[in-house]
Structure 1
């Protein structure tokens, strides 16, 4: 698709970001044409409840994907001895096709929705992720918290994560997440009818 007008390029970029980043649509699928209509009115586009839609997609994906993965992992483990992982190199898959940014071997799954938010939540919740060299803190006081973290170049190996989270005899250490006063003053921290936030310890 070619655009001659700068405004059209900008609008397409908004739809692209919403679909592939916020909603996590598979890049091989067509975009929702309704969003192309919506973006013609930028005020309406900005008022659209992207957060709620993204949250629902992310939540549904998180609820369904692990079950699918564990079945795949259990079947694969007997044959491959737990070699399933996400690699960062360009290799040929079983059909002989190369993956430019890495290869997902058998035993994996794809998340939908805004999965980076879930990734940051894991970093915040499980301090050991830093020790495993999967992430690092770049600014411990940044708001929102997504700005505090940076993912390293180390690719998570499923066997290592599985051993730590599910097979270890020691309990996984979790950090209690509580909003700071500065966070609660942010515009995104709002609740219907001014009800107080309920935050679990």
Structure 2
């Protein structure tokens, strides 16, 4: 097969070093491996396919294209997406959603590392520095090479198993994923973040690593294209290995001669790919792999986008990330209200109460006013008695030291809430028992700050329309899978 017209031949070097991970695993004790598996990076300890396959990446980068026209309804636009084109006029997408499914790393709006480490991080020495580098000057830098030497060569003092895990995570993120070199200085924030495993696991690593990868995929080749000559090379950083895995995922119907999946339900996907052959692939081989679009049937085409499997749909990192992607994520640091749907069993009735802790007020959204008034009085009294106990149990007052309400509520045994009926709450109509539907409507109304409710003048129609909307949402979420359902074979009569 001749080389593709317009193809620029050049040697690509990718800086991420995935072989660091199996090397670290081999150097760890059994207990250190166990502790590492307890972190959000735990699954990566089983990584076996570490090759970057830069030839495949280089061939794909040259196919970057524009977003297809007329697909917005089926494929909502992502603020950070890159499309790649094939003949005949077919395009596939690499975006944050694909990256998330491949890596299993969570996305969130709370990306500032300062939210996850002590406020004094800038003036105090990270504890892990004192423990693991006690002979270094206080203001001297810690580099990736320093961490590698300690983990691989050992020290003349005992390094705890937890500290080995902490340093291993820094090395994997910076060296394996980000492609940073040995002389790179490790951020002081990283040294603080690994101190608390709970905070480390909660941090949105998807944003951090994607932000280092997206601009490289988007512009890495094109920014250097005019300077490239035959035989010349270029280098890219960022987690480009994940981009390579995305190519395999998109092409998995036809790329089996190059690599194959060992478990179609494995999570995260990046860990379940294996090279099918150890043979060296040429430029022509890579172009042939990507040119299957020329004459292949539709059921062999690459996947335009990636969609979650049933297993992935239940993973917290995916559910949380979807809230970020869809713009429905709530910043817990800024939470002022708590939404509580309540079901009164004897009355067979749902209401919504919105508790505002700072104002010590409860708003009641009741689509059938007067039906459970006495029960609501008792409920608000019980909440006032139980809430201080709960807030102390979750260490709320210590975490919210800057909140004006802490001084007032911290020593109270009970909170007396002022209870009011929420404004503009239509009375439910019809015989369908719409109280639960109206709870959902009012929850969206509060969360997204709706100025008005659709069809407010016709509560029955408003509830019916919302039922249809919910049904469509659930249907799409359940059946929007990559593999089409098998067609039922026609039965042939006698």
**TM-score if structure 1 supplies the norm length?**
0.65
User: Tell me, what secondary structure is at the counterpart of 2:294?
Assistant: coil
Change (3 A) 1:153 1:118: same
Structure 2 partner of 1:178: 307
Change (3 A) 1:28 1:164: farther
Cα separation, 2, equivalents of 1:169 and 1:182: 30
Cα separation, 2, equivalents of 1:146 and 1:182: 15
Unaligned runs of 5+ in 2: 1-145, 330-443, 445-472, 483-494
Q: Deviations over 1:37-87 (max 9, x none)?
A: 3222333322222111111111111112121453354x12xxx5xxxxxxx
Q: Deviations over 1:3-59 (max 9, x none)?
A: 532233222112111212333323453333331232223333222221111111111
Report matched runs for 1:33-72 at 5 Å.
33-68=188-223, 70-72=225-227
Q: Which has the higher strand share?
A: 2
- Equivalent residues of 1:138, 1:149 under 8 A apart: yes
Change (3 A) 1:72 1:26: farther
Q: Deviations over 1:86-110 (max 9, x none)?
A: xxxxxxxxxxxxxxxxxxxx32432
Establish whether residue 121 from structure 1 lines up as the match of residue 250 from structure 2: no
User: Tell me, what secondary structure is at the counterpart of 2:184?
Assistant: coil
- Equivalent residues of 1:143, 1:183 under 8 A apart: yes
- Equivalent residues of 2:177, 2:238 under 8 A apart: no
Structure 2 partner of 1:21: 176
Cα separation, 2, equivalents of 1:109 and 1:52: 23
Q: How far 1:159 sits from its partner (Å)?
A: 4.7
Establish whether residue 146 from structure 1 lines up as the match of residue 270 from structure 2: yes
User: Tell me, what secondary structure is at the counterpart of 2:242?
Assistant: helix
User: Tell me, what secondary structure is at the counterpart of 1:130?
Assistant: coil
Change (3 A) 1:130 1:178: same
Cα separation, 1, equivalents of 2:171 and 2:272: 25
Q: How far 1:162 sits from its partner (Å)?
A: 4.2
- Equivalent residues of 1:39, 1:45 under 8 A apart: yes
Structure 1 partner of 2:316: 187
Change (3 A) 1:148 1:42: closer
**TM-score if structure 2 supplies the norm length?**
0.30
Structure 2 partner of 1:103: none
Structure 1 partner of 2:261: 137
User: Tell me, what secondary structure is at the counterpart of 1:25?
Assistant: coil
User: Tell me, what secondary structure is at the counterpart of 1:189?
Assistant: helix
